Amino acid sequence: MSDHDDLLSRAWKQREETLYPSLLGALGPGIHPLDPALFSAVFGQDDVDPRWLHIGVFECPPSPTRAGWAYVSSGLSNPWEATEADPDDVSGLGMEFLLQTRERAPWAMTLVQRFCAYQLLLAAGRMGDHAPLDLWDRMRIGSPIDHADSVLQALVFAPAHHLGDVQRLHSGQFRFLQLIPLTLDEHAFGQQHDFACVVDQLQAANAAPVIDAGRRGIVLQPPG
Q: For every one of its 224 residues, what pLDDT tens digit does the chain have, with 9 covering 90 and above?
A: 445 578 999 999 999 999 999 999 999 999 999 999 999 999 999 999 999 999 999 999 999 888 899 999 999 999 998 777 778 899 999 999 999 999 999 999 999 999 999 999 999 999 999 999 999 999 999 999 999 999 999 999 999 999 999 999 999 999 999 999 999 999 999 999 999 999 999 999 999 999 999 999 999 999 87
For residue 198, the one-letter residue type is V
Q: Tell me the C-alpha distance between 62 and 149, whole Å.
A: 25
What pLDDT is stored for residue 47 in this prediction?
96
Q: Tell me the C-alpha distance between 24 and 10, whole Å.
A: 20
Of 137, 14, 120, which Cα lies nearest the Cα of 76?
120
Q: Would you put residue 34 in left (φ > 0), alpha (ψ -120 to 50) or beta?
A: beta
Q: Tell me the C-alpha distance between 78 and 24, whole Å.
A: 19
What pLDDT is stored for residue 85 in this prediction?
73
What pLDDT is stored for residue 88 in this prediction?
85
Predicted structure pTM score = 0.96
The 3-class secondary structure across 21-39, one letter per residue, is HHHHCCCCCCCEECCHHHH
